[in-house]
Amino acid sequence: MLKGKTAVITGASTGIGKEIALKMAENGANVAIIYIGDKTIAEDVKKQASSHGIKVEIYECDVSNYETSKTICDKIIEDFGSINILVNNAGITKDNLMLRMSEQDFDSVINVNLKGVFNITKHFSKTIMRAEAGRIINISSVSGLMGNAGQANYSASKAGVIGLTKTTAKEFAGKNVTCNAIAPGFIATDMTATLPQTVVDNVKSLVPLKRMGTADEVANLALFLASDMSSYITGEVIRIDGGMCM
């Protein structure tokens, strides 16, 4: 489905980003994995992705840093030649009630989750505009659609990603590049695995399908948006939340 194309995925060593990277590789795309933190974990994802017979490289990068991210993006372009698909997935949480939230915690979440999307998209913009039928996929959240108590910073960042997605879609459309956002709901990842069972049960009760989603289900949607099957979809925000945010 994606044979001969190159996909760049940020925050791709764990969780949703990892599953998207593996899904792209399984479907024939060469993959550039951007991560931060444990290199061993990133190397393991590289090994899994490489088993599909495609080119895979890993790059450590703080996406919130404009200059550092530019250096990494330039290196990826040098290594792969062209970029067809960009998935902006990197994100962090620093939850607290607004009355107790520090300025630093607000700024750091905005810088990674929103500014990071701007940084990486800008640095790849010329390359992806030259690609045939380029695809940009931004990972937002239902928190960016409906808000969430204790997540003023996270909700604001993910709402910002939606606005940035729509603007990118309008600016890049003339070059046949689409840009869409995915808004996951309650997805089973390492992060949610640490939640108390009472919290998990309470959230499930708010989901019409009465279960958590999986990272693989989110990856399937990302694959669709990266493929030719989505060629006439741009500027959209697609929820994958079991009906929670209807």
Asked if the model's pLDDT at residue 189 lies above 90, the reply is no
Is 232 catalytic? The answer is no
CATH number attached to the domain at 6-240 = 3.40.50.720
Asked if the model's pLDDT at residue 51 lies above 80, the reply is yes
CA distances in angstroms from 188 to 33, 94, 119, 181, listed in the order given:
21, 19, 28, 19
CB-facing half-sphere around the CA of 36: CA atoms within 13 A: 16
Tokens of 151: 């997540």
| pLDDT for res 99 | 97
Residues 13-50 have pLDDT tens digits of 999 999 999 999 999 999 999 999 999 999 999 999 99
Tokens of 230: 């989505």
| pLDDT for res 212 | 94
| pLDDT for res 136 | 98
Could you identify the residue written with the tokens 């940035």? Answer: 164
| pLDDT for res 196 | 83
Q: What is the pTM of this model?
A: 0.97
Q: b vs e for 132-164, b when ≥16 Cβ sit within 10 Å of the residue's Cβ?
A: ebbbbbbbbbbbbbeeeeebbbbbbbbbbbbeb
| pLDDT for res 194 | 77
CA distances in angstroms from 73 to 98, 124, 138, 154, 227, listed in the order given:
35, 7, 17, 25, 22
Asked if the model's pLDDT at residue 193 lies above 90, the reply is no
CA dihedral 204, 208, 209, 212 (to 10 degrees): -30
Residues 211-227 have pLDDT tens digits of 999 999 999 999 999 99
What are the strands of the beta sheet with 85-88, ordered from one edge?
A: 56-60, 30-35, 6-10, 85-88, 135-139, 178-184, 237-240
For the chain, domain boundaries: 6-240
88: helix, strand or coil: strand
Residues 125-173 have pLDDT tens digits of 999 999 879 999 999 999 999 999 999 999 999 999 999 999 999 999 9
| pLDDT for res 203 | 87
Residues 110-121 have pLDDT tens digits of 999 999 999 999
The stretch 236-244 carries a mean pLDDT of 97
Catalytic residue among 59, 66, 154, 232: 154
Q: b vs e for 11-49, b when ≥16 Cβ sit within 10 Å of the residue's Cβ?
A: bbbbbbbbbbbbbbbbbebbbbbbbbeeeeebeebbeeb
